[in-house]
Amino acid sequence: MLTEPLRPIIYDLHSHSQASDGVLSAQDLVLRACERGVTVLAITDHDTTAALAAAQAAIDTHNLDLTLVSGVEISTLWENHEIHIVGLGFDPHHPAMKELLHQQFQRREDRAVMIAERLAKAGIADTLAGAREEAGDGQITRAHFARYLIRLGKADTMAQVFKNYLARGKTGYVPAQWCSIPAAIEAIHLAGGAAVVAHPARYQLSTKWLKRLLAYFAEVGGDAMEVAQCQQAPNERQQLARYALDYGLAASQGSDFHQPCAWIELGRKLWLPKDVVPVWEKFPALAAPDRG
Ligand code: AMP
Ligand code: MN
Ligand code: MN
Ligand code: MN
C-alpha cells in the first residue's frame, strides 16, 4: 500500500502572537507554523496564555497537522537581571498559574503607566494611549511602546528605539518588579508543566554569571534551558548544549518568532546537538504524537 512520506518532526517551542507582542493572530500563527513545516508548536506569549484557545480552535477548524503545546514566557527578576522563564505543557486553567499571570498582568499595567510618565517628562506625551493602541487586546509590553515611538518618528528601527529610549538606564526604562524564578517554576510545576530558561545567551551575562544563573535555576528545580534558536552566534549552540549537560538540564529549542522578517522564522534551523536530552523526551506530554 502506498503511504505519503512523513514530514520530519520539527519542534518550535517559543513563539509570540497578538496576545502579547507578536504581530500575527493566533490563527495566522498556527497556519504559518504549519506552512513552515513545524510539527509541534508552543505559543509562549509574555505573561499570558490568552492565545491558546483560539490557536487550538484554528488547528481544529483547518484540520492542521500541528500539535499545540501550551506555553507562556514569564518575566522574572534574578540578581537585578530580567530573566525569561518559559513554561511548557501546563494546564493554563490551573489556579496557581492564573494567579501568577494575574499578578504579572498588574505589574505590566503599573509599569506601562510609569514608562509613559517617564517619557512624558522627557517631552514625549501620551505614549500610554499610543502603546495601548499598538497592543490592542494583548498584554502590554515595551515592544508596543517601541512601535508607537517609531510611528511617532522618534526612531527608525526597534533596535534603535530600545537603545535610545527603552533599554535599561534609558529615559523610558522602568525597573519592573517581576516575580522570582522560584515563583515562576512553582506555578509552572503546580500546573503540571516544564520550566525552561529562555534564550540564555541574550541576557548579556558574563560566562561566570550565566553559569551562576543556570546552576541556580537547576538548584531551585528548573527543568530545561533553550539551546537552539534560529539565529545564534557561531558555537553558541554547542556551548549551550555543554551547559545543559553540565547543569543536568534538558534542552529546548524555539524561534522566538514575533513577526515575519528576514532572519527569524518559525521552525527554521531548529535542531539539538547530540548528547543533550530534548525537553520533549524528559516530558513526554510535549512530544509529537506517535505517527507509527
Ligand atoms: P517587556 O517584556 O515588556 O519588557 O518587553 C520586552 C520585549 O521587547 C521583548 O520580548 C522583545 O520582543 C522586545 N525587545 C526587547 N529588546 C529589544 C531590542 N533591542 N530590539 C527589538 N525588540 C526588543
Ligand atoms: Mn517579545
Ligand atoms: Mn524573551
Ligand atoms: Mn520570547
For 77, list phi and psi in degrees, rounded to 5.
-120, 125
Query: Is any atom of ligand 1 closer than 6 Å to the C-beta of 159?
Result: yes
- The pLDDT tens digits for 35-57 are 999 999 999 999 999 999 999 99
pLDDT at 292 over 70: no
- In three-state secondary structure terms, 57 is helix
pLDDT at 180 over 70: yes
Whether the Cβ atoms of residue 19 and residue 138 lie closer than 8 Å to each other: yes
**Separation of CA 114 from chain center:** 24
Mutate which of 74, 127, 142 for ligand 1? The one with the most ligand atoms within 8 Å of its CB, which is 142
Nearest CA to ligand 1 atom 9: 143
Q: What grid cell was written down for 166?
A: 527603552
- The pLDDT tens digits for 125-159 are 999 999 999 999 999 999 999 999 999 999 999 99
For 137, list phi and psi in degrees, rounded to 5.
-85, 0
Query: Is any atom of ligand 1 closer than 6 Å to the C-beta of 168?
Result: no
| Ligand approaching nearest to the C-alpha of 75 | 1
Query: Is any atom of ligand 1 closer than 6 Å to the C-beta of 114?
Result: no
Predicted TM-score (pTM) of this structure: 0.97
Query: Is any atom of ligand 1 closer than 6 Å to the C-beta of 258?
Result: yes
